[in-house]
Each structure stands twice: as structure tokens, then as C-alpha cells.
Structure 1
Amino acid sequence: MTIRPEGLHDRIPISDRLTWTRRGQRYPRLFNLTQNMEGENSQVEMKLSSDIDEEVGGNGVGEHHNHVRDSYIVGKPAGRTPKNVCFMIVATLLCLLIGYLIGYLAHRKEETAPICSASTNVMDESFIKGSSETGAAPLMDWAEVKELLRKGLTTSNLEETFGHFASENHRAGSPGDEMLGSKVLNNFTSYRMSTWKDEHYVKLVDLPASSPNTVTYKGTDLGSLKGFLAYSKTGTAEGAVLYGHYGEKDDLSKLQDKNIALDGRVLLVRAGRISFAEKVANAAQLNASAVLIYPAYADYPGIVTNAELFGHVHLGSGDPYTPGFPSFNHTQFPPIQSSGLPSILAQTITNSMARQLISNLKGDTVAPSGWEGVRNLGGKDDIVKLVVNNVLVEKKITNVFGVIKGYVDPDRYLVIGAQRDAWGPGFASSTVGTSVLVELARVISDMVNNKGFKPRRSIVFASWSAGEYGSVGATEWLEGYLSSLNMKAFSYICLDGVVTGLGKFKVSASPMMHSLIQSTMKEVNTPSDPSKTLYSSHGANNWESTVLEPMGLNHPAYPFIAFSGIPSVSFRFTSVENKFHFGTLQDTREKLNEATSKQVAGLAVSAGQFAGQMALRLVHDHLLRLNADKYNTLIRKHVSKINRQVVSLVNSQTDLFPKALTVNWLISASGSYSRAARSLSEDIDNSELEDVAMCRKINDRIMNVERDFLSPYLSPRETPFRHILMGSGSHTLKALSDHLDALKNSQPEADADLFRNQFALATWTIQGCANSLSGEIWSIDNEI
């Protein structure tokens, strides 16, 4: 048998190859055994030959055959020729070399691949039945991991990073934005991370160079408009102004209750509570001609009277001119646009302009109770003319990435991201988040490169562009790699706007992350009082009601959960008033110092600790800290409400409701999900978790949950936020409940046939999620 590196075969004479003979039989086989060693291929090759007299002779082959027989026939010692001695020496050295390589690789595998061992810290609210983890945790103790993170994140380092990334002008697609992206990339590279960039050509909006936007009241120009709302319809609208408070559906219902029609009116509303896009969409549904939005003092304390507001009115995320597609190149896609683009004009005005309008409003109707700061809502003679000439431009934006690769499951990864662009200085909206992102990358890279920490899974650090236009950079990335991401990305942690004030802590997240959030709050101290944790300082007995808040369309993490089915979380330290100057040019370091009593760096450290501990926990433990059972409570809440509504409709004897419809199917699907979540917990208890393959199999079942709540019956292009619990549209369980109310009240939009279709598809989406969570096909408990 000849053992040699690949490529040596042709240099060894045929006469010097070992042949085996056995009872006159020959074995002319060639076996190639290839093993990857640090990226290099080595080859072990074995040739079995027959007796010489069975070889095909002729042209000298017979002579060679006789030579081989004389030298290597089993039982006959070969002659000790110089050639044989050399061959024996070479073969011996090669055997020693291969033995060394095998030993080296075995030792290296022992070093680099964390084995399944016990975890030292147990999450109190773990979805694992029993209380302790029993295997598959990395080598480093969790307490040591936390301590390394704590020591690495310091106020002095963050102060220095703030100065490095602060910028007065870094609007999406601008040279300032590109420069900051290069800085982030250079930092990631210096931390010995694998880095890359992702470029997109997207449609953004600028103010017109000529023919500016204008607002006139009874023919009088209200002043220069420097702020704007991206993706507003352009053109001219004229109509009687009508005050609409915040422009929420409830606010507009109050106007209708007073017999005030919105047809053709220009709606004047305050910024806040809901997104600009939702305000405009609500007005458009009632046939208003335009919307004016202004910052009130109560919502923007300390704002100057002439401060301009910036934002967007796309009821969605990403580039609205390539809905459902990545904007790598617009020429590759048909000329379509998002259904979330507004059908009416929209423009921001300053506080002083709004006060001028409000003080002159006439009309016979008094404002509803609670609408402070206004008396009359506006009469037919209060004519406003709005001209919007915003310019749609195509710009290149660049997302920047760095990855710390995992040692066990490198193809499973957590994403941590922050937007890099801003309308102006954007210190709170982008600089703080970008700085925390870069600092976390530095500290965790150092833990891996120099401190012995070996994450089981990978961590991707992402710096997004065009976040101010509706998470455009992040959404385009999701659209471009959706099929890969929802099979491999298991969580997203958002760092946008993590510090806006002092005194309160707020979190928006997937229910699957609630248990992880709770346990992390117990381990992170409050920035103002190190003797207290975030958990103890925010009502330990009722933390969910004081800390958690819904994740809406305007949340930067929303596309990850509602579009891609990736469990996501965003959070912030904020003030009691819960206000800051986002979307204005007053988003500066000085204003943030005022709002935080000059504790910006300390709060950023706490934000980094909270995000970092969640991230490290998700890549440290053998099982993902994502609790599938948390959705069971939410599903049952919706199902219970729908059941009560259906019973009420049946009893009301309305002709609109289909009498044959039963809620039993939906209840059964809810029960299937409950049993599947319980089965997962039992499988964890009964499995040998020291088995790495078993850990991966269970984690894959956990990862499927969020993705399986995306309705498979809808087009991502037409209905991007397909999540039936966290998404937006008629397919959600909340929409089913709203539709039942419309049927009960005999509203024009009520459609019994449409409801039955939505009801059936939502039911089967829940059942399909339960089936996937159950595991193998033979484990499915399908009672529908």
C-alpha cells in the first residue's frame, strides 16, 4: 500500500507500488480518501493488484510483472536493493507525517469545537421543563462571559466613539453617509472580522431645487418650508382646513360623530402617537385632500417654534418602487409601486405656522373633550392651499457588515443592527446606535480573539443606510436574501434610538423573546442606581405592563419580524414624558444631554450591556433562548375574543353573518399549537442534549415558529407584512376581529364571504405552524 500526498502518484514508478495477491485473485481497485485539513486536500490512495501472471502482457509489461512478483509476493522477502531501501524510508516518513497531522487535527478539534456541557446560569422563565440546562453549552462559564462584556464596555470608550461617528450631514446616499459607512467597515476590519458591503440603488426624495413647497392660508403664505415628507404625492391641493388632533382613527371617528365630513378637507394634525404614514392613510380613507403635520409643544418639549419636521409617509418599509424585490438595479424590475404609497398630499409645517392656523380657525363645532390647545375645528371659509414639489431621485446606498463566526453552528446567526443616516445631526437617532454597534463589535471580537470565548453561532453586525426613509437599507437586504435569512437568522437586535431620555426603559419585541428580555433585565443594572437592576426598578411583579409596548409599522425592527419572520427586539432608555426631537435638526448632542442630565455615555453603556447580554446568551447556550410557548397566550387571547364576537353575532340574528360558520376549527388549531409547544418542551427534557446534532435539530424547530406565522397564502410584494399576529393587513387575527365588528355594525366594508376566506386561511396558518413545531411528520397531532 502506498500512502502519499495528492500529486505524488505520477512520480513513483509502477515497480515501486505495493501490490497484494491472494490465492490467484486480483483486486484492481483504486480508493481515494480525501480529508479537508485546514483548507488543504490530502489524499490517501491504495492500489490492490493481482498475481503477475494475470496481468495483461506485451510491450515490456511482462518484464515489469516479473519484477513485481519477485519483489513483493506475499511470503517472499523482497531484495534489499537501494531503490527498495529508499522507498521504505520515504514510506516511513510519510506515515509519521500523516500520524502527526491526524493528532494535530484531533487536538485542534478539541480546542475549537465547544462540546455539550452544563450551562451555569438558568433563565428563570425558561421554556425548558425542569429548571436547569443539561448540555451543549460552550466551554466558557456564563458568569465569565458577562464579566468580559462588562469590563469591555466603558463610558470613556463610548465617548471616544461618539466623537468618531458624530456628523452634521449624513443623509442617506450622501458623501457623509458613505464616509461613515467606510469608518464602520474599517473598524470591523481592524477587529479581525470578516466584512462585506451590500449596495442598492433606491428611490429617495429631496426638496426641489426650484418651485419650493408652499402652504397658504386664505391667500397668505405661511412661510418657507424646509422640512418635508418623503413619498408624498406631488401636486396641488386646496380645501377648508380641519383640525384632527393626532389623526388616529378614533380621532377621525369623533369628527364623523359630530357630522363633519372629511371630503376634500385639508386635515391639520399633531405629530406623535402613530406614524406619519398612518395619519395620512387614515385621512385618505375618508377622502381628505391633504394632510398638514406639526410638532406640538406637549409632544416636543423645548422645541423651537420654527423647527422643521422630516419623515416619510410610505405605509410600509423599503424602497416603495420595488415592493417585495431588492433594489439592486431598478432596470431589472417592472415599473410598479407599493400599495402603501399615499394617494393624497402631505407636508410638515412648523409649530409657529400651526399656531397661526389654529388661532384663526372658525366653524360652529367645538373640539371634543381632551383636544387641548384648540377650540374651533375649522370652517368652510378657512381655505388652505398646499403645493408639494418634492423630487424623486435614485441614489446608491450601502449597508456595511461584519461577522464573528460561530464554532459549532456558523451557518446560524444573530443580527445586530443600527441605522447610520439621519436628516441632520441625528445624534440620538443614529450616532448613539452606531457607536454602541461598533463598541459591541470591538468587545465581542476581543473576547473571541484574545479571551477564549467561542460562540456556538455567528453574530452579524450591520450598519444600515436610508433608515430615515422607512428602514430602506435593512428592508432591501431582507428582500434580497429572504430565502436564506429566514432559514438561518434566528434573531435581530435593533440599536436605533436606544437613548432618548432618563428614567424609563421600554421594549418592543416578538413574544418569543420576552423570557430572554426578562432574564436580561435581571442581570443589567440601571445606569442611575447600580444597586438596582432594570427588572427591579420597573416593577418586578408586573414588568410586562410597565416595560413592554407594541411594535408598530414605524419601528425599525418591524420588517424583520413582520416581513421576514425573524424574532426581533428594539428598546430604549427614555424620559417620563417619552418625547424627543426625532425627525428634526435639533437631534443634537446638546439636546440629548439636556434630556438625560448629561448621562448619555452611561446610558449607552447600559444599552450595550442589555443588547450584548441578549446577543451573547443567544450564541452561548446550547438551546436558543426563544420561548415558543409565549405565542400560545397571544393566540388564545385572539381566539377567545373572536369566539365571543361570533357568539354575539349568531345571537343577534344578523343576515350578514354566515350561520354555518363555526369557530371550532380555529379553537382546534389553537389547541394544536399549544400541544406542539408542550411537545417541544417534553422533547427537550427527554433528549440527550450533549449531542450537538440533537441541539441543532431542536433549535431548528424553534427557529421555524416565527417564520411559520407568515401567511403562505399572500404575496410578499402585495402584502409584505404577512405575520398573522404581528403583521399588518386583513389576514391578521386582529383584522378578523375588526371585520366581525364591521359585520355586527353593518358597515359598508363588511363582507361575509371575504371574512370566511380570511378566517379559513388564518386558521390553517396557525395549524401549519403547529405542524412544523411538532417536528417530524409522524409527530404531528392534527385534529382539524
Structure 2
Amino acid sequence: MDRVRSAFNSMSERYSRFTLQPAEDGERHVEVKLSDDAVEDSAGGSPSFRPAPRRQQQSTLCYLALGTLLIFLTGKKSVLKELEKESFDCLWFPRSACDLPRRSAGSVEDKFLANHIFKEFQKVEMDPWTDIHYVQLQTPDSQRPNRVRFGADVFEPTGYLAYSATGQVQGKLVYGNYGRPQDLDVLQDKNVSLRDSVLLLRAGQISFAEQVDNAAAKGAAAVLIYPDAQDYQYRADTALYGHVHLGSGDPYTPGFPSFNHTQFPPTKSSGLPKIPAQTITANMATALLRSGFKGGLSATYRLGGGENISVEVNNVLVNKEIHNVFGVIKGFVDPDQYVVLGAQRDAWGSGYAKATVGTSVLIELAKAVSEMVEKDGFRPRRSVVFASWSAGDYGSVGATEWLEAYMSSIDKRVVTYISLDGVVVGEYRLFITRLTFLIIYANVCRMRPMSIDDPAYPFLAMSGVPSVSFHFISPNTEAYMYYGTDLDHKDHLDYQTNHRTSEMAATAAQFAGQMALRLVHDRLLRLDVSRYNGVLTKAVAQIYKRINQLLKGLNPTWLNRARGAFQRATISINNDIRNSNLDDKEACRILNGRIMSVEHALLSPYVSPVETPYRHLLLGRGPHTLASIAETTDMEQLHTPLALATWNLQGCANGMVGNIWDLDEEI
């Protein structure tokens, strides 16, 4: 363990400092500063887990991400030690694994890595175990390639979009920018018909799945997606890979685990697209575009319809056995509560930034924490679980199947999920974080609510587990452009980090380690649930505004009272924390239980996990969410969703109060 001895140091002045700073609103926030030689650049935002475009420079002050607040206490001696940067050679994968050209989910290479991780956990006596699932993945048909025909041109793209609808369609070619709702509305406002058209879209801004779903909602027959040179500065013949399932997990076992398909009735996820979708290269897109809309390619773009084009998708479903691998360091006081750190290990190509770095950080954190327990006398109060997921590139399949399999125990015991996917995609001059419950204000970072394509999203929106993702990226960029391509390899990541990949991986490991160890060490979970109050106030105001616009006879007062009950419940928790003896183990456990109930209680009990898996009232997707209610145009159908959302929120408030005799009866 010489290569990772001295894994962390005391709050590590070398890499990052956490200090509580007063703000104008009187609250305390956490300031994150990088090493003294770092350049504090405020540009950019959080990368998505697929290619995304760059944006203009934004404010240097991080804004509020949806969720509650994890506060790092300072002034205490940390159990962390400095991570040895030199040990990140090949990022701790066996050399043969670093050289693998591909390690797609369920492949021989994927299982080889799973076995390697299992043995690494065994070496440090972490009692590892394997969670096996039998899932359906979609791959190209080697006998019948996907094709795009346009006039005399016939293209056979190498890249593809998993879970696309199959078949051959023909329609008028229409350019639709990024395929966002506002992009497609512009076309319709200009009387450009989208029905039965083939939409040509630029990759970026939103996920592939959202692009295809938006197009289908407008009546399009098929979708083609390409990387525009204005957004992606790489070879014009680069193939794109991704998936278009508007959800996560195996879409043929929605709501239940894929242990054995014979146990459950055949069904399909409501998030599967009903139209074919295919990626094409920038070169192919250049050949398709003719005139009328200026963009980043050498050709000009047609805003309206063009010639007819044929799209043929022949992808096939294959059954794959995938292995999730786990190791655990059990807590000494509350072992039934645990923090989970996870990383996917599969990739379309080499997946260096997307999978190799995160998996390497996972392994070395496991070793370092194990050594702290074995040699340094560290006694974590709660357990730490280290998870290596498979089939992440198909939409967090491995992680979601695990969540579906053990939902009844996970949602009550997992304190936090920390995603290690994509933690290093650039230099450390800029620290970017995308998260739900952790809110950091600083001069060098920017926040976002968690998006549907974030690997941590199923933990939050489906299972009600507080979740966090964070990323280090380069200045003046918002994304790592090589996700979903064969170009995500060591040389490109080294270029993006100015050959500081090892240093940045060390920094990311320390940051994740500090979060995890604080959460398993402290008696009281430092999660400030009152941070949801502002989010709820804004959401309820939007519903009031909508109802006043469209329906004068409906009174949403009860919803506002439920919001008030939630706010009073958060005040009650904070008052009880201030007035409790935090040396009292039982008092802390009761308080922690009230805090941990919040995210799970915000999952709507009134929708089916099969049809609406992302049940979170605020951060989910579907008609049950406050955001959806605020946008509804069907007033006849408004009453029931509004009533159910109101009682969902009131139930969450009741759960925070604790004792039944203290429940708020105002509603």
C-alpha cells in the first residue's frame, strides 16, 4: 500500500479548503478554494454524461441547486490524508485493462474488470459480493447495418442509439437545431410541418432521449443526431454512441429487477421511443444539409423542409448477464445506515474519462479507508459501501436494477449516494458540481439541478436517496466533448487536463472522501432540509399563476398550506437540533431519521413506478410533479393531480415532525 499510504491529509490545504462564510442572507455557506496556484475562472458549468456544447461565461457565484444542504464543519481534525498523485499511473487498472479498446456491458472485458475489482476488495477484507442481473441491451445488427439514404448517397453509420425503435421510415428532411421544445416551436411558428418528417438535430443541450421524445411529440417520423463543428472540435468522421430510453434501467423490466425474466410478465418502459433514431457523423450531416440556416459546418442549414430521406434502423435486442460488484466497510455504531460511492466501469469505447478514472478513484478510496480502519484506528459510525456498476452507458442499467431489487431497504438506509462518474474531465482551475442536496457557494464553481442523464439521478428521483455528482473541468468549457465517442481515451483526457490527470484524480478522490467520511463519522447528519423551502415557494407560486390564468374557480390554498406545513416542519427540526444534546446517541438517531425521511417522502405514492419511475414531487418527471401541474393546459384534469400533490407534500411535512401528537393540523 505504499502507493496510497498518505492517502489524505488534514483538510488538505494542498488541494482544497472548506470554510464557512457568512452570506448576505445571514446563512452560512461553504466556500471551496483550489490550490494557491489555481486560476479562479468562473466560466462554464457542469458536463453532462454525453456530448454537450459550450456556453458563454456565467456568474462566478454558484446558484442554488435543487435540494437540501450538506454543511462541512471546519476546525476539526480530519481523518483524511493526502492522496499520492504518482499512484494514478494507468489509474490502478491492470495494464491489460487500460489497453482494452472496448468494454461494453456484459462483455468478456467487462466481467474481467468486475473480477479484478472483486479481488481488490478481497485483498482489504471488505467482504465483497456480486449482484447479477440478466438484462436486455440493444446493439447494431452485424448482418443488417443501419442506413441513411438521401438521394444518391447511402450512409452506414458506425455509431448508434440504443433502444431506438426499429424499422425503415421516409420523410421530408427538416433541420431542428438541438431539438429542444423552443427549437421545435420556432419551426411550427414559421409554419414548418414536423409531422412525418425526419428531424436532423445537433447533439447537445439536452439528452438524446429528450431530443427524440420531443421530436416524437411533434409527430416526427425519425430523428438523426450529429455533432456540429460549432460544438465539437474533433474529426468530422467521429461516430457518436448513446441511448434514447427516457428513463433508466432495463426498459423491459420497468419497476422491478431483472434477476430472471421468467418471474415477471413481459412489459415495456413508457420511456421507450416509438420512432427510429440514429446518430450520424458531421461529414454525413454536411452531405445532408443544403441551404437556409447558418451553423458550424461548412454547409448552410435549411430551416424548413428539404428533400425526402430514408432512415433504416435494424438494432437488435440481446440478453446480457451483468455484474455489479460491492465492497463494504461496516460501521461501528449504526452499521444499518450507509453511504454509497459508485462508478460505472463499462464504456462504448475505452471510456477513460467516463469510466476508468471514476472506477480507479473508487478502488483507491476503498483501499485508503480500509487502511484507516485497520491501521489508524478510524471507527466510522455508519457503513461505507463501494459499488462498481455495469451497463451505465445504457442508462444506469446496473445501478437502477439494484435499486429496483432492494428498494424497500435502500430508501430507508442509504444516507447519501456519491457518484464518481466523470469526476475529472479537465484542469482543476475550475471546480464544477452538479448535485441535489449539497450546495456550495464559491468563486470557482457553478451549480445545476440534477439532469435526467446524470448517473445519480435514479437514486434521487426514483428511490428518494440524497445524491451528488461533481466534476472538475477546464476553464471556458462546459463539457467534455469526447463522451460517447471512441476518442475518450487517455491522451485526450491528458490534453484536457494539461497533463494533470493524476493530480486531478487525486483531488477528486480527496473531495469525495471528505464528503463520505464526514457523513459516516458525525453523529448528526449535516443535511439542512430547510433548503427546500425556497424551491417549494417558487413552485407553488408558479401553480398559483397558472391557475389564475386558466381557471378562476379552483383555489390552490391547500397546496400553499401544505407548503407552510413543510416550512414549519423544517423549522421544528432545526430548533430540535439546537435544543438537543448531540452527545446523546439516541437523540441524534431520532433526528437523523427525521432528516432522512424527507427525500423518500417526496416520492409520490400515487403513481406507478412502471409508468412513472421518477416519482419525486420536485425533481421527478411526470404529471404528478409540481412543475408539470404548473404547465398543464387541461383544466378538467387539474383537480386530482393538484389534490394528490398537496397531500404528498403534507405527508412529507408530517414525516419530518416525528411524533404523531405534534402533527400540523392546519390543513
Query: Does the alignment pair 1:170 with 2:103?
Result: yes
Residue deviations 1:212-248, cap 9 Å, x none?
A: 11111114213x3211100001110111111111111
Kindly state the Cα deviation for residue 251 of structure 1 after the two structures are TM-superposed.
Answer: 0.4
Kindly state the Cα deviation for residue 636 of structure 1 after the two structures are TM-superposed.
Answer: 0.8
Residue deviations 1:569-624, cap 9 Å, x none?
A: 01111122223210000100001111111111111111111111111111111111
TM-score normalized with structure 2 length:
0.86
Secondary structure of the corresponding residue to residue 507 of structure 1: strand
CA distance in 2, matches of 1:122, 1:354: 50
Query: Does the alignment pair 1:508 with 2:434?
Result: yes
CA distance in 2, matches of 1:504, 1:342: 37
TM-score normalized with structure 1 length:
0.74
Identity %, equivalent residues:
48
CA, structure 1 residues 380+219, in 2 after alignment: closer, same or farther (shift >3 Å)?
farther
Could you tell me which runs of 5 or more consecutive residues in structure 1 were left unpaired when the two chains were aligned. 1-120, 132-139, 519-534, 539-545, 740-749
CA contact under 8 A between 1:162 and 1:431: conserved in structure 2? no
CA, structure 1 residues 291+351, in 2 after alignment: closer, same or farther (shift >3 Å)?
same
Q: For residue 320 of structure 1, what is the aligned residue in structure 2?
A: 251
Secondary structure of the corresponding residue to residue 81 of structure 2: helix
Query: Does the alignment pair 1:758 with 2:651?
Result: no
Q: Which amino acid aligns with 1:395?
A: K
For residues 650-669 of structure 1, the aligned pairs below 5 Å read: 657=551, 659-669=552-562
For residues 31-42 of structure 1, the aligned pairs below 5 Å read: none
Q: For residue 405 of structure 1, what is the aligned residue in structure 2?
A: 330
Query: Does the alignment pair 1:560 with 2:459?
Result: yes
CA contact under 8 A between 2:91 and 2:356: conserved in structure 1? no
* Residue in structure 1 matching 2:88, options 135, 158, 177: 158
CA, structure 1 residues 601+776, in 2 after alignment: closer, same or farther (shift >3 Å)?
same
Query: Does the alignment pair 1:703 with 2:633?
Result: no
Kindly state the Cα deviation for residue 156 of structure 1 after the two structures are TM-superposed.
Answer: 1.3
For residues 563-712 of structure 1, the aligned pairs below 5 Å read: 563-575=462-474, 576-579=476-479, 580-647=481-548, 649=549, 657=551, 659-712=552-605
For residues 737-776 of structure 1, the aligned pairs below 5 Å read: 737-739=630-632, 750-776=633-659
CA distance in 2, matches of 1:782, 1:547: 40
CA contact under 8 A between 1:702 and 1:773: conserved in structure 2? yes
CA, structure 1 residues 765+379, in 2 after alignment: closer, same or farther (shift >3 Å)?
closer
Q: For residue 267 of structure 2, what is the aligned residue in structure 1?
A: 336
Kindly state the Cα deviation for residue 373 of structure 1 after the two structures are TM-superposed.
Answer: 6.9
Secondary structure of the corresponding residue to residue 169 of structure 2: strand
CA contact under 8 A between 1:245 and 1:371: conserved in structure 2? no
Q: For residue 306 of structure 1, what is the aligned residue in structure 2?
A: 237
CA, structure 1 residues 288+410, in 2 after alignment: closer, same or farther (shift >3 Å)?
same
Which gives a bigger RCO, structure 1 or 2 (Cα 8 Å, sep 6+)?
2
Q: Which amino acid aligns with 2:310?
A: K
For residues 92-171 of structure 1, the aligned pairs below 5 Å read: 143-146=76-79, 149-151=80-82, 153-164=83-94, 165-166=97-98, 167-171=100-104
Q: Which amino acid aligns with 2:471?
A: R
Query: Does the alignment pair 1:194 with 2:88?
Result: no
Q: Which amino acid aligns with 1:194?
A: D
CA distance in 2, matches of 1:782, 1:370: 58
Q: For residue 521 of structure 1, what is the aligned residue in structure 2?
A: none
CA distance in 1, matches of 2:140, 2:597: 44
Residue deviations 1:472-506, cap 9 Å, x none?
A: 00000000000100111111000101111224222
Which stretch has the larger CA shift, 166-175 or 241-250? 166-175
Identify the structure with the greater helix proportion.
Answer: 1
CA contact under 8 A between 1:506 and 1:548: conserved in structure 2? yes
Q: Which amino acid aligns with 1:328?
A: F
Q: For residue 4 of structure 2, what is the aligned residue in structure 1?
A: none
CA contact under 8 A between 1:509 and 1:567: conserved in structure 2? no
CA distance in 2, matches of 1:630, 1:612: 24
* Residue in structure 1 matching 2:344, options 407, 414, 419: 419
* Residue in structure 2 matching 1:549, options 445, 448, 456: 448
CA, structure 1 residues 379+694, in 2 after alignment: closer, same or farther (shift >3 Å)?
closer
CA contact under 8 A between 1:181 and 1:398: conserved in structure 2? yes
Rg bigger for which structure?
A: 1
* Residue in structure 1 matching 2:397, options 450, 460, 472: 472
Residue deviations 1:708-753, cap 9 Å, x none?
A: 00011111111100001111111111111111xxxxxxxxxx3212
CA contact under 8 A between 2:249 and 2:395: conserved in structure 1? yes
CA contact under 8 A between 1:240 and 1:379: conserved in structure 2? no
Which stretch has the larger CA shift, 618-627 or 475-484? 618-627
Q: Which amino acid aligns with 2:430?
A: K
Secondary structure of the corresponding residue to residue 415 of structure 1: strand
CA distance in 2, matches of 1:735, 1:374: 39
Q: For residue 312 of structure 2, what is the aligned residue in structure 1?
A: 387
Secondary structure of the corresponding residue to residue 469 of structure 2: strand
Secondary structure of the corresponding residue to residue 128 of structure 2: strand
CA contact under 8 A between 1:162 and 1:432: conserved in structure 2? no
Residue deviations 1:100-139, cap 9 Å, x none?
A: xxxxxxxxxxxxxxxxxxxxx996689xx999xxxxxxxx
Query: Does the alignment pair 1:730 with 2:616?
Result: no
Counting matched residue pairs gives 598
* Residue in structure 1 matching 2:279, options 343, 348, 356: 348
Secondary structure of the corresponding residue to residue 157 of structure 1: helix
Secondary structure of the corresponding residue to residue 594 of structure 1: helix
CA distance in 2, matches of 1:374, 1:752: 46
Kindly state the Cα deviation for residue 642 of structure 1 after the two structures are TM-superposed.
Answer: 2.2
Residue deviations 1:175-230, cap 9 Å, x none?
A: 000011111111111112121100000000121120111111114213x3211100
Secondary structure of the corresponding residue to residue 670 of structure 1: helix
Q: Which amino acid aligns with 1:725?
A: L
Could you tell me which runs of 5 or more consecutive residues in structure 2 were left unpaired when the two chains were aligned. 1-17, 29-72
